[in-house]
Amino acid sequence: MTCEEEDINGVLRDGGYGEYATLRTEAVVSVPIDIDPYEAAPLLCAGITVFNSLRHMNALPPDVIAVRVSGESKRELSHQLGAHEYVDGSKVDQAAALKKLGGAKVILCTAPNAKVIENLLPGLAVDGTLLLLALEATPITISPMAMIGTRLSIRAWVCGHAVDSEDMLTFAKAHHVKVMVEKFPLDRAPEAYERRSSARFRAVIVPGL
C-alpha cells in the first residue's frame, strides 16, 4: 500500500479473481499448509492491519490497549476474545473510563466515526497513541493543546508487506487464532460485498463452491 507507483492489485487496478496470475516473488505470501485458506483470507486483511500496526507501537504488558468497536452486540464477543473490560460508549464516557484504568497506551480505531475518534483522545495515557486503522473520509479535529501536555501521538497504519503477513500467519498459528467466516460462491459475490455492513462474519468468496 505504500508503493510509490500506487499500483495496488484489486484496489487501483483490476485483479484478484483471476484463475492464473504472474506475480513478483517478493509480493507473494506463503500460507502454511495447515491454515485453512478461507481463514487466511480475512487474516490477510483485517488481521495483518491490526497485528502489524500494534507491534510497531512499543506497547508492552501491563500497558492498556483499547480497541474501538461498534455496538453493544460486541460485548460478549469482546470478552470471548479475551478483553478484560468492555465500555459501552452509549452509556458512559469512554475516554473517562479509560482514564480510570490508567489511560490507554494505544487506542486502535477500527471503526470509521470521526466524532467518536476525536472524543477518545483524552483516554490516552502519557505518551499514548491514537492509532487510526479505519478508512474515514470525514476530517478529524484535534486540538494541539490536548496533545502537547501529555506528549500524545496520532498515527495511521495500513496493512503491511508480504513478510509482515507471513509473520502474522505464524503468530496466528502459534496462538490458535480462529476466524469467523461466511463462505459465498463466486456468483453471489455482490451479496457477500453487501454483507459487509453486518460486520459479524468476514465474507469469503470461494470460486467453485
pTM of the shown model? 0.83
CB 66 within 8 A of CB 119: no
Query: How far is the C-alpha of 52 from the C-alpha of 2, rounded, in Å?
Result: 14
Residue type, 171: F
CATH number of 57-156: 3.40.50.720
Average pLDDT over residues 96-108: 95
CB 126 within 8 A of CB 103: yes
Percent of the chain with pLDDT over 90: 39
SS3 105: strand
CA 109 to chain centre: 8
Query: Domain locations in the chain?
Result: 57-156, 179-209
The 10s digit of each residue's pLDDT in 144-185 is 988 999 999 999 998 888 999 999 999 999 999 988 888 888
The 10s digit of each residue's pLDDT in 23-47 is 788 888 999 999 988 889 889 988 9
Asked if residue 91 has pLDDT above 90, the reply is: no
The 10s digit of each residue's pLDDT in 121-130 is 999 999 999 9
